[in-house]
Amino acid sequence: MITGLDHVGIAVADLEKSLDTFRRLFGVDEAAIHRERVEEQGVEIASFTVGNIRIELLAPLSEQSPVAKFLAKRGEGIHHLSFATTDIRQDLHTLEQQGFRLVDAEPRSGAHQMWIAFLHPKSTNGVLIELCQPKNEDTDRQSLD
Ligand code: CMX
């Protein structure tokens, strides 16, 4: 079940430069910034929270990264909205049955110790939607089944 918005992903070309912009905009402390390389997704991220919403800046690690393709085609800007779910596998199954086009039939490993999966923007009014669920013993075991 989808329970709410987890984060907003913003594609950027220069992570440090953009981080400086957003840090000044929201008055974010350096110590409150989470940095991570997500090799599987081909991105480097820097994230921080504003109120109870996380903002995730994404920069490509290579030209093959989907974010590099996005930047080349559309420029910097909002890249995806990520929604928290209590059962990512079940939701993917249900959404596929409802006719949504899945990018990921199976959850993949994402930032913040989360399982993530994307729906194709062509089936969601041009918005890239991500589902995410924190990893734990149960979800880790399911992913090995
Ligand atoms: N938001 C909205 N539309 C998008 C989009 C995005 N983020 N990314 C691509 N599109 C659009 C393109 O503009 C294009 O539309 P047109 O055909 O009208 O021009 C269409 O989708 C197809 O795009 P493409 O460049 O040909 O790219 P692909 O079909 O090869 O891939 C997508 C598109 C969404 C399947 C791919 O970008 C993907 O798998 N994304 C999910 C993975 C990802 O983005 N990972 C990084 C984030 C990691 C994280 O959060 O941890």
Closest residue (by CA) to atom 11 of ligand 1? 121
CATH class of 2-134: alpha beta
Residue type, 135: K
Instruction: Tell me the CB-side half-sphere exposure of residue 39, using CA atoms within 13 A.
Output: 0
List Cβ neighbours of 12 (8 Å cut-off, separation of 6 or more). Answer: 18, 57, 58, 59, 76
Place of tokens 């709410």: 4
- Predicted pLDDT of residue 137: 61
The residue extents of the domains of the chain are 2-134
Closest residue (by CA) to atom 26 of ligand 1? 69
Q: What is the mean pLDDT of each run of 10 residues along the chain (145 residues)?
A: 96 97 94 94 96 96 96 98 97 97 96 96 98 82 55
Q: Tell me the three state secondary structure of residue 87.
A: coil
- Predicted pLDDT of residue 136: 83
Q: Tell me the three state secondary structure of residue 64.
A: coil
Q: Which atom of ligand 1 is nearest to the CA of 128?
A: 1
- Predicted pLDDT of residue 24: 94
